[in-house]
Structure 1
Amino acid sequence: MLFRNLIILFFCFFNLISGYSNNDLDNIIFPKAEILNAYTARIPFKLVDHLIVIEAELLGKKGDFIIDTGSEALILNKIHFPFKYEYRETPKQTSGVVNTLDNTLEKQLKEFVISNLNLKNKISDVIDLSHIEKTKRMHLLGVIGFDILKDYEVFIDMYLNQITLTKVDRFGNKLDKKVYLEKITDSISFNLVNHTIVLNGFVNDKPLKFALDTAAEFNQINKNVSKKVLKNFRPNKRLELIGAGNKKIEVLAGKLHLVKLNDTIYFGPMNTILTNLSKMSEAFGLNLDGVLGYEFFRQKRTIINYQKEKLYFVNNPITKQ
């Protein structure tokens, strides 16, 4: 998401820099991926704080990539991929964990390979992610966003700490017909606004619009929502976060109760911060009331199908005591 006032408010505006030539970014390899067939791969992930992080190799370097549905493109960390190849500059903004970025330097990738899964003609942005790397104490090579994920059905499984990617056609139908052992128990439609998943939800039966973002470490609720909604936000502490320009801001953190998407899809109390989402709403061109992130995926094993604009849900296994 083009801003990130969001979750990771401490991820500031970053200076952009160059990209790589088409021939250099031919492939990226996920060494721990389990290849099920020509269309499907399972990739284990670890949680760094509340960020979903997978291990990958690119251009002879091994390190971490953040999975961020709120980011539009593949982003490479300038620190590990320094400026040494020609690039083209296109005025645009990128998003997700990296806030709003002006004059992003884009690079067309000839091919992006997930083991034996190929994604051709993708765009990468090369920017300075050193602030995130230092704050999170990780070897961060980059961020994998919407442009890479949209051609797959994406199963984010916090129960098993793995992501399953299965190729879909332009209508969103899976090319692999027998992907999941788990039974899908519910589903809901969403609106895809540019590259962002927007859900219609409710708090205390008051209708709200939420952005769904895998890299949102905390849920967020707009401090300008109705009092009926805010009655269900129970603050318990203050957090100091660092926003754009390293400006420190203080926010209220607590639990948000009575969140649901419909009468069958509802959530227990979720850790949430109270903040001003006006800049985020401006970036989207619509009024957003909140952001759902890690807390959402922690409670729901979720499958994202961008082409069909639907979420599907799988229950956790029932374990015998």
Structure 2
Amino acid sequence: MLKTKIILILFLSFINKTVFANEINKLVFPKAEILNKYTARIPFKLIDHLIVVEANLLNKKGNFIIDTGSQNLILNKVHFPSQYEHNKKRVETTGVLNSLDNPLQKKISEFNLLHFSLKDKNSDIIDLSHIEKIKKMHLLGIIGYSILKDYEIFIDLYLNQITLTKVDKNGNKLDPKVYLEEIVDSINFNLKKHTIVVNGVINNQKLKLGLDTAAEFNQINKSVNKKVLKHFVPKKRINLAGASNKQVEVLAGNLHRLKLSETVYLGPMKTFLINLPKMHEVFGVQLDGILGYEFFKYKRTIINYQKEKLYFINYPLNNQ
């Protein structure tokens, strides 16, 4: 199972995209709990370490992965065949799901979350059958930055739900009473294109780390300073086949003593030490590593793209 997961990570990270444009209808989340016209809670399930929500689109019902590392909404070409190939337009895209083979692109005339509506959103059309096979699920697509950016997003691995609340252009919530629990801390981040970049420190060495909800394991680049690697405790070496069946060696272990501020720190977290020469191509920014599921497992996290801020809510005692 571990080998399969890492193969998927490598495959999703390094594949080239060519896309086309067209228009489709609306996407609906049937299990969303609508609190008011600005706020909804959507339950999710964890498939391995992927955050997956159920949605309906074009009379199809299936699963969507929540992926802050993806620039656009991505639809699975297997379930949305390319009968919309007129109005073709070539564009370039980036993200953790960058570089998937032979994609198309459709433009969504309306993304509808029951009372929520987003119009004229791009959607990449990509063959995601390999993910369906590996994860054994009916995958309609992947929800990325272009959909999430207009909301403040609370990702809660304690209650297994995502709360979306509409914000204005300055990031202020239109619903002032969204959270029942107290926000206890926060950090700033830099939004580089669509990528959330946080500043971290290990052993007095500064790091730039991308935050990605679809990264099943943290990743740290082999090229980081050796002082950082003193706090990486290796467990095993694994030889894996990447997207082109080329063997890639991954060192799996635990990363300790990561600080994001004087009050926000994490560890130990399961992490892969890996050569990531295409990190800039994948995320559109040079990074020292990626924080994924292991981060969200420790931190109940609220993302505000407009304010470029992460907020944190404590886990209940004895439930971390």
TM-score, normalized by length of structure 2?
0.92
* 1:92 shift after superposition: 2.9
Q: CA RMSD in A?
A: 2.2
* 1:277 shift after superposition: 2.0
Residue 207 of structure 2: aligned partner: 208
Q: Which amino acid in 1 is paired with 2:76?
A: N
Structure 1 residue 9 corresponds to structure 2 residue 16: no
Q: Which amino acid in 2 is paired with 1:29?
A: V
* CA distance, structure 1, for counterparts of residue 301 and residue 197 of structure 2: 15
Aligned with 2:9: secondary structure?
coil
Percentage identity across paired residues of the two chains: 65
Residue 305 of structure 2: aligned partner: 306
Aligned with 2:130: secondary structure?
helix
* 1:35 shift after superposition: 0.6
CA distance 1:39–1:145, change in 2 (3 Å): same
CA contact under 8 A between 2:155 and 2:163: conserved in structure 1? Answer: yes
How does 1:1-321 map onto structure 2 within 5 Å?
8-11=9-12, 13=15, 21-22=22-23, 25-101=24-100, 105-284=104-283, 286-318=285-317
Q: For structure 1, which segment, 5-14 or 282-291, has the greater mean C-alpha deviation from structure 2 after superposition?
A: 5-14
CA contact under 8 A between 2:17 and 2:98: conserved in structure 1? Answer: no
* CA distance, structure 1, for counterparts of residue 275 and residue 264 of structure 2: 26
TM-superposition CA deviations, 1:26-66 (whole Å, max 9, x none) = 21111111010001110011111111000111111111000
CA distance 1:131–1:7, change in 2 (3 Å): closer
Q: Which amino acid in 1 is paired with 2:118?
A: L
Aligned length: 313
CA contact under 8 A between 2:18 and 2:90: conserved in structure 1? Answer: no
* 1:104 shift after superposition: 5.0
TM-score, normalized by length of structure 1?
0.91
* CA distance, structure 2, for counterparts of residue 172 and residue 166 of structure 1: 10
Q: Which amino acid in 2 is paired with 1:308?
A: K
CA distance 1:153–1:128, change in 2 (3 Å): same
Q: Which amino acid in 2 is paired with 1:256?
A: L
* CA distance, structure 2, for counterparts of residue 226 and residue 88 of structure 1: 48
* CA distance, structure 2, for counterparts of residue 83 and residue 286 of structure 1: 31
Q: For structure 1, which segment, 299-308 or 234-243, has the greater mean C-alpha deviation from structure 2 after superposition?
A: 234-243
Aligned with 2:10: secondary structure?
coil
CA distance 1:69–1:242, change in 2 (3 Å): farther
CA contact under 8 A between 2:215 and 2:292: conserved in structure 1? Answer: yes
* CA distance, structure 1, for counterparts of residue 148 and residue 290 of structure 2: 20
* CA distance, structure 1, for counterparts of residue 239 and residue 219 of structure 2: 15
* CA distance, structure 2, for counterparts of residue 72 and residue 15 of structure 1: 12
TM-superposition CA deviations, 1:258-299 (whole Å, max 9, x none) = 011011000120000001122113555643111100000000
Q: Which amino acid in 1 is paired with 2:280?
A: S
Aligned with 1:89: secondary structure?
coil
* CA distance, structure 2, for counterparts of residue 30 and residue 286 of structure 1: 32
* CA distance, structure 2, for counterparts of residue 298 and residue 240 of structure 1: 27
CA contact under 8 A between 2:78 and 2:129: conserved in structure 1? Answer: yes
Aligned with 2:263: secondary structure?
coil
